[in-house]
């Protein structure tokens, strides 16, 4: 009965202030929709490049046309000189320059080795590498065209041609993300990481409020002095609410945006629920360790922001300095990322992912070690600014 009373009290508290609606629904859902809108094309298209054509022949024109035909590349300008193109790049207007030298066609047809140059601006890594790929392919195509004319002239027949042009063909299989979609690769971690942040904030903020209003004594009395009951009653409504928002996140990604979900629903649903309770566990743990709500809030903010980097989805953890590789184990998001790769993306047997599920459970259970400290924090019922 005490348990039910605490839950009712918590629900009443949560509807009494708008900030709770903001933390549980408005801010996380707005972030999900933001990321969904931002990456809606999957791969950025029509990235502007400049072509400096000093040849002005039918061959150079056709090179430019086929470069422009790539979905990711858009030939946005054709300045007369390289200097002009470089200035445009400095202004951030273009991400790459494709340079066709004077006399290109003549040297190509007279065995003289003309030089095609392409420049990318890798201060913008993503567009830089996409354009690099297109320009490289374009140069290879140019090579093929020239070789083809020469070889046919020598009487090499069509079936032998592709073997001659490209003796070793590399067939690439990007497993389970053949579209190389950045939407899949980014949203799958960004969205849950935002949710995890708000889960942690919600826990610490709701305890802060009790201390600030001096209502922790009343709360503890309701639970008959049991800290376990008190915390469980307070957190359960939060878990359920965040669980609903988390399920919305899963539905958005796998149902509406059609991201790969090769594991089926339950492994990822479990991962999401465990991420939520693991984040709650982490928040309580730091609250117990520091016995100070402000420091706990700062620690959660630090953890949440670092999660985006240290989960290792943009820059792999194994390429970080060794100290960071150890540090990464202390982040629930790290394990959620591993679960996403195993389950949603690759759909491998759940047995391979047991340790990551267990790690999240461990985070959820970790506050048990500091329960007495949390109890004394609530008993003191004192707010330290």
* Footprint (CB under 8 A) of another protein, residues 170-189: 170-177, 180, 182, 185
What's the distance, CA 136 to chain centroid? 27
From CA 202, how far away is CA 208, in angstroms rounded? 10
Q: Is 40 in the site for another protein (CB under 8 A)?
A: yes
From CA 121, how far away is CA 225, in angstroms rounded? 63
Q: Is 167 in the site for another protein (CB under 8 A)?
A: yes
Cα-based torsion angle of the residue sequence 88, 90, 93, 99 in order, rounded to the nearest 10 degrees: 50
Q: Is 70 in the site for another protein (CB under 8 A)?
A: no
The minimum distance between CB 246 and another protein, in angstroms, equals 16
Q: Which of residues 190-209 bind another protein (CB under 8 A)?
A: 190, 193-194, 197-198, 201, 205, 208
Q: Is 262 in the site for another protein (CB under 8 A)?
A: no
From CA 23, how far away is CA 27, in angstroms rounded? 6
Which listed range, 118-126, 248-256, 271-279, 363-371, lies at the site for another protein (CB under 8 A)? 118-126
- Tokens 């506050």 -> residue: 367
Q: Which of 8, 21, 22, 218 binds another protein (CB under 8 A)?
A: 22
The minimum distance between CB 370 and another protein, in angstroms, equals 21
The angle at the Cα of 133, spanning 130 to 139, to the nearest 5 degrees, equals 140
Q: Is 123 in the site for another protein (CB under 8 A)?
A: yes
Q: Which of 132, 254, 265, 290 binds another protein (CB under 8 A)?
A: 132
Total residues in contact with another protein, by rule CB under 8 A: 112
Residues near 345 by Cβ (< 8 Å), separated by ≥ 6? Answer: 176, 177, 184, 188, 260, 262
Q: Which of residues 359-378 bind another protein (CB under 8 A)?
A: none
Q: Are strands 47-53 and 96-100 parallel, antiparallel or unpaired?
A: parallel
The minimum distance between CB 272 and another protein, in angstroms, equals 18
């Amino acid at each position: 009965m005490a348990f039910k009373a605490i839950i009712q009290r918590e629900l009443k508290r949560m509807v009494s202030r708008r900030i709770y609606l903001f933390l549980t629904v408005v801010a996380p859902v707005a972030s999900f929709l933001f990321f969904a809108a931002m990456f809606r094309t999957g791969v950025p298209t029509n990235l502007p490049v400049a072509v400096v054509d000093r040849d002005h022949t039918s061959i150079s024109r056709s090179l430019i046309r086929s470069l422009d035909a790539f979905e990711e590349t858009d030939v946005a300008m054709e300045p007369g000189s390289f200097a002009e193109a470089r200035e445009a790049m400095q202004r951030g207007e273009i991400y790459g320059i494709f340079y066709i030298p004077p006399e290109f066609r003549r040297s190509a047809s007279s065995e003289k080795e003309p030089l095609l140059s392409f420049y990318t601006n890798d201060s913008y890594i993503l567009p830089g590498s996409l354009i690099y790929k297109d320009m490289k392919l374009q140069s290879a195509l140019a090579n093929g065209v020239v070789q083809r004319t020469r070889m046919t002239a020598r009487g090499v027949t069509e079936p032998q041609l592709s073997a001659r042009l490209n003796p070793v063909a590399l067939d690439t299989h990007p497993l389970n993300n053949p579209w190389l979609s950045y939407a899949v690769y980014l949203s799958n971690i960004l969205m849950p990481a935002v949710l995890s942040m708000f889960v942690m904030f919600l826990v610490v903020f709701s305890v802060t409020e009790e201390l600030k209003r001096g209502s922790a004594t009343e709360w503890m009395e309701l639970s008959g002095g049991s800290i376990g009951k008190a915390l469980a009653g307070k957190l359960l409504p939060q878990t359920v609410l965040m669980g609903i928002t988390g399920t919305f996140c899963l539905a958005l990604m796998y149902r509406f945006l059609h991201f790969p979900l090769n594991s089926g629903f339950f492994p990822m649903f479990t991962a999401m629920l465990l991420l939520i309770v693991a984040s709650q566990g982490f928040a309580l743990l730091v609250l117990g360790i520091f016995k100070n709500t402000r420091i706990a809030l700062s620690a959660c903010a630090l953890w949440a922001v670092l999660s985006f980097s240290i989960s290792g989805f943009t820059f792999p953890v194994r390429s970080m300095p060794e100290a960071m590789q150890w540090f990464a184990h202390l982040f629930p998001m790290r394990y959620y990322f591993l679960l996403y790769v195993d389950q949603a993306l690759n759909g491998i047997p759940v047995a391979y992912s047991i340790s990551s599920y267990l790690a999240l459970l461990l985070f959820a259970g970790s506050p048990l070690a500091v329960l007495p400290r949390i109890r004394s924090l609530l008993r003191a019922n004192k707010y330290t600014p």
